[in-house]
Amino acid sequence: MSDGAALDTLVRRFVGPGADYYARRFEALGAAAGFRWSFNPFAALAGSVWFAARGLWSWFLPFLLVESLGLVQMAIGLFGDRGREQRERAAGILRTLADRKQQIEEAIASNSPSVEALQRAAASLERALADATLQADLASKSGLFVTLIGLAIVLATRALQAGIANWTLERRFTQWRSDRNLPAGRSWQRALAGLAMLLIVVVLTGVRFARPELLPVLADFPTQRSWRIDVGDAIKAGFEWAKRAGEGFFGSITLGVRRLLDAVETVLVGTPWIVTMAVLGLLAWLSGGARVAIFTLAALAYLGLLGFWEKAMTTISLLGAAALVSITLGIPLGIYCARRPRVFAMVRPVLDFMQSMPSFVYLIPVVAFFGAGKPAAIVATLIFGSPPVVRMTVLGLQQVPEAVREAAMAFGASPRYLLFKVDLPLAARTIMAGVNQTILLSLAMVVVASLIGAKGLGEDVLEALQYASEGQGILAGLAILCCALILDRIVQGRRKP
């Protein structure tokens, strides 16, 4: 069998009905470079349902939404009460106007000095009533225009679908030749599923906007306020029980964090500023070179000259303690997860939860278990900033070439040697990127943590927001940025190109 005959057989197996038509179109499309416009009358008639019948779901969904938009616009124009909202507004104005006229009559009868003010208010209401009535009339007469817009959207969408249908099907045919698990042929089940989805979207949305009084349930989700109250009370009771049951556990964590923070603060805050500045400058020079040292000294000088020194050292203590704990726990956990895919499959949802939860929400359970103050701020920062270093450690170790590991094991490398001499050095850049993200996320929690009693520069930013002091807020924000960059540059060290 020749190549042309074999290809024709494959096309017929793939497309099913209409094989002769699609064989000719595929041949023309295959000879063209890139996209080529080709009108498909079946897609023009069926619209998005054609894509569903062919299993092209990634195209079906956007076309379904656009088609539904046009059909709903047509339903609103044909069956909707376009002037209903304006008439309801006019009715409300009319009731208010009637009350004002009654007040005017009473004021005239009592010779009240407020007659003139009431008459001005009534005149204003009469103008508003006339405007609302006019808008209602104009909206009621716009039904034909809205219908034409919807029809134009539907026709334009159908034309687009007809123009790209053959091209999308030919691309799917190319993929199907290498992966026979992809849907092929025309399926009535898929077509009915697509038609049902189209009808559900159009009918329900059309009723919602054109005739909302027919199904009021479409406007508001059916719920019971008591359910939220009951669930909230249950969660509160659970927190109270956990707090009582784990009092010793949470107390030990608070004590450990407080001691770590006190030690760091003693070094940074209690030490004379010139000594702290010299040590940090030397550390920056050893870690990142002369440029990092100059930047560190300049940033520290900015903090000192503007009076942020003590609060900046407190902030660095908070950032440093949180980042230190995050990195110390995150890298070993990432190494373990990289070697245990099943463990990582269980840890990943927890990391997703930790990264997706808004930062302010962390403060609720943290304050409940650890109270307000600096230890609670460090715990909240720890939870918020830990996921990147775990994820990036796993990613870096997974990206180590297997051939390199096999070569090391062939020369008799032990698991310990393989980890510390092969895997970690090759994954170091990715891991350090995770460390960088952890430090930056810890920085993001500085201002938030000030809400629960954490001192430092976040307190200045919070006060600037409360009293609308733009200048002081910007200066404090730049001071926080300096603290974060100092830590980041020292931790990152010399970056190899």
CA distance 219 to 212: 7
Torsional sign, CA 112, 116, 120, 125: positive
Region of poorest pLDDT, from 166-175, 249-258, 390-399, 419-428:
249-258
Task: Examine the pLDDT at 298 and tell me if it is beyond 80.
Answer: yes
The predicted pLDDT at position 242 comes to: 83
Region of poorest pLDDT, from 64-68, 281-285, 327-331, 366-370:
366-370
| Average pLDDT over every residue of 171-185 | 84
Whole-angstrom CA distances from 148 to 34, 77, 154, 159, 206 are 35, 8, 10, 16, 16
| Average pLDDT over every residue of 307-329 | 83
Region of poorest pLDDT, from 172-176, 201-205, 214-218, 309-313:
214-218
Region of poorest pLDDT, from 78-87, 293-302, 384-393, 397-406:
78-87
The predicted pLDDT at position 139 comes to: 65
pLDDT tens, position by position, 460-476: 787 777 777 778 888 88
pLDDT tens, position by position, 103-139: 877 777 777 777 777 778 778 878 887 887 777 676 6
| Average pLDDT over every residue of 284-300 | 87
Residue 244 corresponds to which tokens in the numbers above?
A: 């009582």
Task: Examine the pLDDT at 1 and tell me if it is beyond 70.
Answer: no
Query: Does residue 100 or residue 165 have the better pLDDT?
Result: 165
The predicted pLDDT at position 494 comes to: 55
pLDDT level of residue 4 (50, 70, 90 thresholds)? low
Instruction: For the chain, give the mean pLDDT.
Output: 82
pTM above 0.75, yes or no: no
Gyration radius from the chain CA atoms: 34
Query: Does residue 71 or residue 324 have the better pLDDT?
Result: 71
| Average pLDDT over every residue of 10-25 | 81
The predicted pLDDT at position 153 comes to: 92
The predicted pLDDT at position 496 comes to: 45
User: Quick one: how many helices (H) and strands (E) in the chain?
Assistant: 22, 0
Question: Alpha helix (H) ranges present in 357-418?
Answer: 359-370, 374-398, 402-410, 415-418
| Average pLDDT over every residue of 186-215 | 87
pLDDT tens, position by position, 63-92: 999 999 999 888 887 887 666 667 777 778
Task: Examine the pLDDT at 311 and tell me if it is beyond 60.
Answer: yes
pLDDT tens, position by position, 473-485: 888 888 888 887 8
Task: Examine the pLDDT at 100 and tell me if it is beyond 70.
Answer: yes
pLDDT level of residue 12 (50, 70, 90 thresholds)? confident
Task: Examine the pLDDT at 33 and tell me if it is beyond 70.
Answer: no
Report yes or no: 206 and 76 within 8 Å, Cβ to Cβ.
yes
Task: Examine the pLDDT at 174 and tell me if it is beyond 90.
Answer: no
3-state helix, strand, coil in the chain (%, to 5): 85, 0, 15
The predicted pLDDT at position 497 comes to: 39
Element (DSSP H or E) covering residue 72: helix 57-79
Residue 495 corresponds to which tokens in the numbers above?
A: 């970056």
The predicted pLDDT at position 2 comes to: 54
pLDDT tens, position by position, 377-396: 888 888 888 889 999 999 99
pLDDT tens, position by position, 419-439: 888 888 888 888 888 888 888
Highest mean pLDDT among 89-98, 174-183, 185-194, 373-382: 185-194
Buried b (16+ CB within 10 A) or exposed e, 412-421: eeeeeebeee
pLDDT level of residue 320 (50, 70, 90 thresholds)? confident
83: nearest Cα among 72, 94, 93, 91: 91
| Average pLDDT over every residue of 4-9 | 71
Task: Examine the pLDDT at 370 and tell me if it is beyond 90.
Answer: no
261: nearest Cα among 405, 376, 130: 376
Whole-angstrom CA distances from 219 to 208, 211, 216, 282, 309 are 7, 11, 6, 65, 56
